[in-house]
Amino acid sequence: MKISTNWLKDFVELAPPIPRIADRLTLAGLEVKKVETLENPQDVLFEIEITSNRPDWLSHIGVAREIAAVEGLSLKLPAPDSETGRNPPPGWKINVKDLEGCPYYTGVLIEGITATKTPDFMVHRLAACGIRSVSLIVDITNYVLLEYGQPLHAFDADLLQGKEIQVRKAKSGEKILAINGATLDLKQEDLVIADSGHAIAIAGVMGGKGTEISERTRNVFLESAFFDPARVRKTSRRHQLSTDSSYRFERRVDPEGVDYGRQRALALIKQYAKPRHISAVIKAGEKPGLKVKSIHFRDDEIRATLGCEIKSTQVASILTRLGCDAKQHAPGSWKIGVPSFRPDLERPVDLIEEIARIFGYENIPETLPERAPGLVGESARLRIEKKLRRFLCGLGLHETVTFSLISDQGLDPASDLATAVQIVNPLHHGLHWMRPTLVTGFLGVIQRNINAGADSIPLFEIANTYRSPGKQKHPAEERVCAIALYGKFAAKSWKDAARPVSFYDLKGIVEAVAEYAGCRELCSAKAVRSYLLPETSQEIRMWQNPVGFFGQVAPAVLRQWDIKDPVFYAELSIDKMLAPGDAPRKFRDWPRYPAVERDLSLMVRDEVRCSDLMHEIRALGGGLVSGVGLFDLFRGKRVPEGFKNLAFRVVYRSPEKTLIAEEIQKLHDRIAETLVKKYQAQFQK
């Protein structure tokens, strides 16, 4: 937002140099991003950055009040207008049908405007702040908006149907032609201003074309109101409309400013538009939150929070300059009345923060704390995440960060989105869901890297996924480690050759990650995911408890991102790996006795899982099988259709003695015979 220093001088004396004031405001919390000098007319502009909790800064008077507080100056405000006109306009009335959306609405009928030229000073000040001059009445409403922070709206009274102004919810199927020329389909949740015929404005956002002020306008109905910030925000997002008015209403305007802003506008209209008659104000509802809010705090709270002593006279002066009513009702105890334009002041610590920033953070002496802070240990989750990041980077994967909000692209409504969290009021069009999985974000990253010419894209991310809360109040969050492989494994030296990544590359990484995290007794089983190929979709388990899943992304999903080559994807739950991953590991002494390797070749049906056979071999070994691994898988001429030949290398070792050939062979034969009986395998010696 741009602030004119020429305009500020109407309310507070600015001692040069001007950049010094900008620096002082920034140190006090009101960031001046840029100081710009204008030549014609001469002016200096502050471009300020305003936090969402300080809507009072969205006006020249608000910034002038801050300067007065920081510099220790007095604030001069325009004298309020008496609002001549004792009688309300005959036959006119205001009917607020939604007091929740509009607690307070006021209007004035201005008749017989005789002058339409905007004064030069007003044109220059509006232009300096980025607003072009339109017409006198519109310029005055914009001028008051920038001066007081109170949005106003002027209707051409001759274009209104009837003499009743309604504030209501939009009707089903109702439309409005807005001032910007767009025809908007209104929703029943939208709050509108209407005459006896139809909607003439979207409350707090934008007026309608049908009652727009023009150079022919001679009779005006001027609106000044307080609209519910949440309702304005939702309507603004729903229709993708952001205006100077909605920006202020969303952040809550000062309820007292409704009357002050209207009075200031009427004073300017009487002075420059020279109307024949101005009616009395007609009102509906009550100003919200006008009960004076008081906060009690003590001097020792200031010392405990800031670590220094601030005199009572300074405390009173600072809070008074900020618009508060500061009273010391007992020695060392304060009762502070909070003004209506400061809803952010709720607790004693809020007032202490105000005292600190106006007193000057640079003036608070640096002191060591009175006691050493207690040691805070690193959480188990952070430890395992750090371990996994180092491990995955060591495997050659690149960490990425994707957006938590996604569209429904690539996800199945019946399965993936059935338990997903939907955003009621999304900030970006199309991003209506909180991600139940990271796969769609990864596909977007892969697509962008392919378009940039990359042919090897190994990725991982550690982030949250979200599920609908069910009976809980909040969505369920799960921390996961997601992995995606695309393209080729690059050659590491001149004697190696690049090769495409495969399902088994992903499976190996998944198993390695799980084992590195401390998981034991791993096995896999079939799993169903809508975005994975059914024949490759698998679930990895630890002691038969699911830890994650992996597989090849379905080609139909890849086509939505225009990805032609296979993508392999996995998700592992950090939370489910947390307990074994954080458990202390015991040192196991180096083996003292030699190992003996024996091969075991079996022919089994295709549906028999290799992991089941390996688990069975370990169980049958009775502690003497120290390792088992598959080294060959064969399907061919000598193997009947529907069967496969598996060759395992079994490592036998005893922690207590050297095994002899006879007992090894006896155990080896018993394992083979059991597998033959249990899995109908054909054993080959």
Mean pLDDT value across the chain: 89
pLDDT the model gives residue 462: 96
Tell me what the mean pLDDT of segment 431-449 comes to: 94
For 330-349, what is each residue's pLDDT tens digit? 888 889 999 999 989 999 99
Q: Does residue 514 contact residue 577 with C-beta atoms inside 8 Å?
A: yes
Give the pLDDT of residue 522.
Answer: 75
Which residue do the tokens 């801050």 mark? 66
pLDDT of 86 reads: 72
Residue 82 is predicted with a pLDDT of: 66
Q: Which residue has the higher pLDDT, 474 or 579?
A: 474
Q: Would you place residue 494 in the very low, low, confident or very high pLDDT band (cuts 50, 70, 90)?
A: confident
Q: Determine the Cα–Cα distance for residues 599 and 191; give it in Å rounded to an integer.
A: 78
Determine if the peptide bond prior to 17 is cis (ω within 30°): yes
**What confidence category does residue 684 fall into, taking pLDDT thresholds of 50, 70 and 90?**
low
Query: How much is the pLDDT for 154?
Result: 96
Q: Is the pLDDT of residue 676 over 90?
A: no
Measured distance CA(355)–CA(398) in Å, rounded: 48
Q: What is the pLDDT of residue 577?
A: 85
> Cβ of 389: how many Cβ atoms within 10 Å?
15
Give yes or no for residue 581 having a pLDDT over 60. no
Eight-state DSSP code of residue 181: S
What is the model's pLDDT at position 493? 72
Highest mean pLDDT among 12-16, 199-203, 592-596: 199-203
Task: Give residue 253's pLDDT band: very low, low, confident or very high (50, 70, 90).
Answer: very high
Burial 194-232 (b: 16+ CB within 10 A, else e): bbeeebbbbbbbbbbbbbbbeeebbbbbbbbbbbbbebb
CA gap 290, 325 in Å, rounded = 15
Average pLDDT score over residue span 227-251: 93
**pLDDT value of position 54:** 92
Please say if the pLDDT value at position 367 is more than 90: no
- Model pLDDT, residue 290: 61
Residue 582 has pLDDT above 60, yes or no: no
Mean pLDDT, residues 622-651 taken together: 88
pTM of structure? 0.70
Q: What number is the average pLDDT over the span 248-275?
A: 94
pLDDT reported for residue 516? 86
Q: H/E element holding 34?
A: strand 31-38
Of the listed ranges 72-76, 167-171, 396-400, the one predicted with least confidence: 72-76
Q: What is the mean pLDDT of residues 258-280?
A: 93
Q: Among the listed ranges 385-399, 499-513, 578-592, which one has the minimum average pLDDT value?
A: 578-592
Return the pLDDT at 637: 80
The 10s digit of each residue's pLDDT in 54-77 is 999 999 999 999 999 999 999 998
pLDDT band at 2 (very low <50, low <70, confident <90, very high): very high
Q: What is the mean pLDDT of residues 552-565?
A: 94
Transcribe 209-265 into DSSP letters: GGG---TT---EEEEEEE--HHHHHHHHHHTT---HHHHHHHT---TTHHHHHHHHH
The residue assigned the tokens 């017409």 is 135
The pLDDT, as a whole number, for residue 124 is 95
Sign of CA dihedral 660, 666, 672, 675: negative
H or E element in which residue 545 lies: strand 545-552
Whether pLDDT at 660 is above 60: yes
Q: What is the pLDDT of residue 155?
A: 97
Evaluate the CA torsion angle 377, 380, 382, 385 in order and state its sign: positive
For position 252, what pLDDT does the model report? Answer: 93
Query: Is the pLDDT confidence value at 329 over 60?
Result: yes
CA distances from 380 to 39, 512, 560 (A): 61, 20, 39
Residue 551 banded pLDDT, cuts 50, 70, 90: very high
What gap in Å lies between CA 21 and CA 160, rounded to an integer? Answer: 47
Distance CA 453, CA 153 (A): 54
Neighbours of 318 (CB within 10 A): 22
- Write out the E strands in 50-119: 93-96, 104-111
Tell me the per-residue pLDDT of 521-546, one tens digit each, with 9 for 90 and over: 777 778 889 999 999 999 888 877 88
The percentage of residues in the chain with a pLDDT greater than 90, rounded to a whole number, is 60
pLDDT of residue 518: 80
Query: What domains does the chain contain, in order, with CATH numbers?
Result: 2-71 (3.30.56.10), 93-285 (3.50.40.10), 293-362 (3.30.56.10), 380-582 (3.30.930.10), 596-684 (3.30.70.380)
Spell out the residues 6+ positions from residue 432 whose beta carbon is closer than 8 angstroms to its own.
Answer: 405, 407, 408, 422, 423, 426
Beta-strand runs (E) in 380-430: 398-399, 405-406, 421-422
| Residue 227: C-alpha distances to residues 175, 245, 290, 514 (Å) | 21, 11, 15, 55
- Classify residue 55 by its DSSP letter: G
Task: Assess whether pLDDT exceeds 80 at residue 479.
Answer: yes
Looking at residue 639, its pLDDT comes to 85
C-alpha distance from residue 623 to each of 518, 531, 617, 627, 674 (Å): 20, 41, 11, 10, 17
Q: At residue 384, does pLDDT exceed 70?
A: yes
